[in-house]
Structure 1
């Protein structure tokens, strides 16, 4: 028995279409873009990776604000080339982090291997070396808040790299198995 709603059907349909366009992953039955899972479908999304990404999204603005403030405080005390390097590192980390988190969300929730691989490559090849440079260079004036914020960010980054590696490994293994099983299907898909 369906639940009675006081909304007229055309208003309800309009609200459903609007919410379906806002929330891409809407899996309710009344949405036309509902994703259906077959009874034998194995969900490959990684819960630990998704939790790390979720908390990283909330931590990123705090990191960005504190790093910007710390950079402003020590900017006049730095040598000219360290000024350039730190501003470039801050901009690289900030811009790459937005793209990295987006790719992580899409790759994990929608089980897309290329996006998750892009997330892993951005994390490993851009974010990690830049963050390690900021944390280990002895000529950079490190303030206590900056060090604490960067260490927490490094822990997020290392945990996400490990979780994404295992999630990507599971997804590719499953897709490879699916590919080989489809070779034995007949032309009618049975």
Structure 2
């Protein structure tokens, strides 16, 4: 029996980007908190920006923690939904928030641009690399799925041939209908049309990854049981 080597589809470059982005985000969060407190208490801010800046800064901190976890876990374990959710959160809302806080806000200071620029570079690089990684994972999992289907069909064909030889003349058709009806469902991230992964496929997988992260299986099950009882 031969040994088949499986080449990993995860991206070492993306893993390094996420790791160093995590370290910088810790420092950036401290600077953002200090700048927000100083702006609200120390300077005469625009009333609208005085309301918007703290809210968007809080959203950035919350989403950044979820985003980095999805990127680290999804790339390391080759999970398409988690990695697609990482792409989605990178493009929106993190990149627009960094542009707003660092380069668009009316009452910004030079420290805003200095701290936001490296973060924006991380986000842009991660968006490009992670999207390519998601497409590579989809192609790999699609190929593995169809290879497994082909193996199942060939096994069913051999079993049918043996059964036909044992029963005598005639070819039984039951194994053919059984092989067609007992098809394994498509796993997450596998394309059912056999083509190249599109942006729609990535967005669909991203929704699955976000729902699994925000609502684990245990919580989803308990909620469905409560609805049935009502």
TM-score range, shorter chain: 0.7 to 0.9
- Which residue does the alignment assign to 1:132? 99
CA distance in 1, matches of 2:134, 2:105: 36
How far, CA to CA, are the matches of 2:108 and 2:24 in structure 1? 20
SS of structure 2 residue aligned to 1:185: helix
- Classify the secondary structure of the residue corresponding to 1:77: coil
TM-score (norm 1): 0.75
The answer to whether structure 1 residue 46 and structure 2 residue 21 are counterparts is no
Task: Give per-residue Cα distances to partners, 1:25-64, cap 9 Å, x unaligned.
Answer: xxxxxxxxxxxxx742111110110000010111111100
SS in 1 for 2:78: coil
Q: Is 1:86 paired with 2:43?
A: no
1:91: how far off? 0.5
Q: How many residues align?
A: 152
Deviation readout 1:102-137 (Å, 9 max, x if unpaired): 000110000000000110111112111111222332
Match of 1:95 among 40, 50, 62: 62
* Residues 1:153 and 2:153 are matched in the alignment: no
Answer yes or no: is the 8 Å Cα contact 2:49–2:105 preserved in 1: no
- What is the SS of the residue equivalent to 1:98? helix
The structural deviation recorded for 1:71 is: 1.5
**Mapping of 1:1-190 within 5 angstroms?**
39-75=4-40, 76-139=43-106, 141-186=107-152
For 1:118-167, what per-residue CA distance to the aligned partner results, in whole angstroms no more than 9, with x for missing partners?
1011111211111122233251x222222111001000000111110111
Higher relative helix content: 2
In structure 1, the residue matched to 2:162 is none
Q: Aligned Cα RMSD in Å?
A: 1.9
Q: 5+ unaligned residues in a row in structure 2: which ranges?
A: 157-230
Gaps of at least 5 residues in structure 1 are 1-37
SS at match of 2:6: coil
Q: Is the 8 A contact 2:29 2:61 kept in 1?
A: yes
TM-score of the two chains, using structure 2 as the length reference: 0.62
